[in-house]
Chains A and B, each alone.
Chain A
């Protein structure tokens, strides 16, 4: 088999195999995490890995089809990765009771205001921009 043919076979394999793509994403995360540790940047390793992957895709070094299946798996199962962290409530018994109720109030009211503000601000600017484009 010629090297060219081998490269095409390999590419097809990566396009089809979700497991290989998951491995590729894991590898990029290791690289990102290592870089974050080495440089002491206050940026999480995952974000650095994401920027590297964006760069690789944008510069055509990795095609979207070599990562899409793996990436979709991570995004679809993301809630699973939050489940164990939820059990941290067990380590903070002081949160049950009045203090907990107060904290819950702060979080619920705060989150609603954040969502309302963001959605209304973005929607207003978006409509304003649309009007500008239609009638300059």
Chain B
């Protein structure tokens, strides 16, 4: 181990190691999930679980891990840019139904904020946690901006957004099987408001139309919330 020490303290080697491991576990989980569709094999559950085990075994702290792999998280930025393509491809559908989509986005945003506020109060969570929970249904970059605006902790919010996405993507599929929802519009909107980008990825698996609507709804939901944040901040902290 002592011979390896100089290599291991090298930031680049560490970054390379954790990046390769992350991508490897993700690809493995994705391949397994294609054969057996149990929720615990899905790439967002199995890959992080394996990585947590690896990080613990190697006695690496979270700061060291994320320093090496934050470039992967940054790729969510260009992934957002990529949404322009499916949105443009579905422009006819969007053109005829945008008022309905807007109503869905507003209904989703209001429900998200109200349920977070009411449940956090009912369970007696402290104010910082409550405020950090409010913007959890919108995609990470938006959510962190809103959280900071209204007095929450942005990094906690990012974590809550993630849990929402992982759970929402799985729950959305179950809900769709049980509910009498037939229109691709409602099926896509469900994922876009409930589970942001993770839900959108899931919606893309279900169908291209559902995926683009989910992507559009996710973007609209984020914009709508960022615009409402100053008003919300004023109401919450007068």
List residues of A whose CB falls within 8 A of some B CB: 22, 25-26, 28-29, 32-33, 42-47, 49-51, 53-54, 57-58, 64, 67-68, 70-72, 74-76, 78-92, 95, 99, 102-123, 125-127, 129
- B226 close to A42 (CB less than 8 A): yes
A110 near B112 with CB under 8 A, answer: yes
Query: Given the complex, which residues of A lie within 8 Å of B198, measured CB to CB?
Result: 79, 82
Interface residue? B66 (CB, 8 A): yes
Residues of B contacting A64 in the complex (Cβ-Cβ under 8 angstroms): 85, 88-89
Q: Is the CB of A83 within 8 A of B77?
A: no
Contact of B219 among A47, A68, A90 (CB under 8 A): A47
The majority secondary structure among interface residues of chain A is: helix
Tell me how many residues of B have a C-beta within 8 Å of chain A: 104
Other-chain residue from A29, A58, A72, A119 in contact with B81 (beta carbon distance below 8 A): A29
Contact of A29 with B55 at beta-carbon distance under 8 Å, contacts A47-B219, A118-B104 already known: no
Confirm or deny: B14 has a beta carbon within 8 angstroms of a beta carbon on chain A. no
Contact present for A90 and B55 (CB under 8 Å): yes
Question: Inside 8 A of B108's CB, which chain A residues have their CB?
Answer: 114, 117-118
Listed from nearest, the 3 A-B pairs whose CB atoms lie closest are A46-B80, A44-B141, A86-B48
How far in angstroms is the closest Cβ of chain A from B51? Answer: 6
B44 at the interface (CB under 8 A from A): yes
Q: Quick check: A46 and B79 within 8 Å, CB to CB?
A: yes
Q: Given contacts A84-B72, A110-B116, are A33 and B77 in contact (CB under 8 A)?
A: yes
Q: A111-B167, A122-B189 are in contact. Are A25 and B81 (CB under 8 A)?
A: yes
Q: Using Cβ atoms and an 8 Å threshold, which residues of chain B touch A89?
A: 52, 159
Tell me the nearest residue of chain B to A95, going by C-beta.
B159
Q: Is the CB of B189 within 8 A of A118?
A: yes
- A50, B83: Cβ atoms under 8 Å? yes
- Distance in angstroms between the alpha carbons of A64 and B31 in the assembled complex: 29
Given A67-B85, A114-B193, residue A49 in contact with residue B115 (CB < 8 A): no
Contacts of A49 in B (CB 8 A): 77-78, 80-81
The answer to whether B141 and A109 have CB atoms under 8 Å apart is: no
Q: Which of B12-66 contact A (CB under 8 A)?
A: 22-23, 25-26, 30, 43-44, 47-48, 51-52, 55, 61-63, 65-66
A67 to chain B, nearest CB (A): 6
Contact of A79 with B26 in the complex, beta carbons under 8 Å: yes
| Interchain CB contact under 8 A, A84 and B73 | yes
Q: How far is the CA of A50 from the CA of B76 in the complex (A)?
A: 12
Residue of B nearest to A102 (CB): B123
Extra contacts, 7 of them, besides A46-B77, A50-B87 (Cβ < 8 A), are A84-B72, A84-B73, A87-B51, A87-B62, A107-B160, A110-B137, A112-B171
